[in-house]
């Protein structure tokens, strides 16, 4: 029998909850844009080494990771900073500094859940680089 509940630590957004989330995200977007930030997003799926390199092997215990059919170690992003660094390094010569970027990424961490701390979460990042 199929379990109809969301995976533990995740949630569904029915229309009323999605309206509230969209209102909040749009408020964050407006605030960031008024302060001169540009929005960016990155892959939700990254090479596992990107996160292990930043935080060490202990982070691997919090990753939702797997080996794909090509034997690559991949992970759902637990945070945005390593992806941001990867993106900046890719285009570093063509960017105008300081870079003022913001994001509202969906992130995933396999960790002990507490009240208000789930395995799937969104976070508002404002980054100035350079």
Whole-number Cα distances in Å, 125 to 14, 58, 128:
25, 23, 10
pLDDT band, very low/low/confident/very high, at 54 (cuts 50, 70, 90): low
Smallest CA-to-CA distance from 62 within 112, 123, 109, 103 is with 109
Show the domains of the chain with their CATH numbers.
15-43+78-129 (3.30.930.10)
The answer to whether 100 and 36 have CB atoms below 8 angstroms apart is yes
pLDDT band per the 50, 70, 90 thresholds, residue 111? confident
Counting residues of the chain whose pLDDT is more than 90, the rounded percentage is 81
pLDDT band at residue 27 using 50, 70 and 90 as cut-offs: very high
Q: pLDDT tens across 92-108, in order?
A: 999 999 999 999 999 99
The pTM is what? 0.89
| Pairing state between β 99-103 and 125-129 | antiparallel
């Amino acid at each position: 029998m199929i379990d109809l509940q969301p995976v533990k630590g995740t949630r569904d957004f029915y229309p009323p909850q999605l309206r509230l989330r969209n209102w909040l995200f749009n408020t964050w977007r407006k605030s960031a844009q008024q302060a001169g930030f540009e929005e960016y997003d990155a892959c939700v799926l990254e090479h596992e080494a990107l996160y292990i390199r930043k935080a060490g092997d202990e982070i691997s215990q919090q990753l939702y990771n797997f080996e794909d059919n090509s034997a690559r170690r991949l992970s759902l992003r637990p945070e945005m900073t390593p992806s941001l660094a990867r993106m900046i390094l890719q285009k570093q010569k063509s960017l105008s500094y300081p870079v003022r970027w913001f994001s509202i990424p969906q992130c995933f961490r396999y960790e002990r859940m507490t009240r208000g701390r789930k395995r799937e979460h969104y976070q508002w990042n404002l980054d100035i680089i350079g």
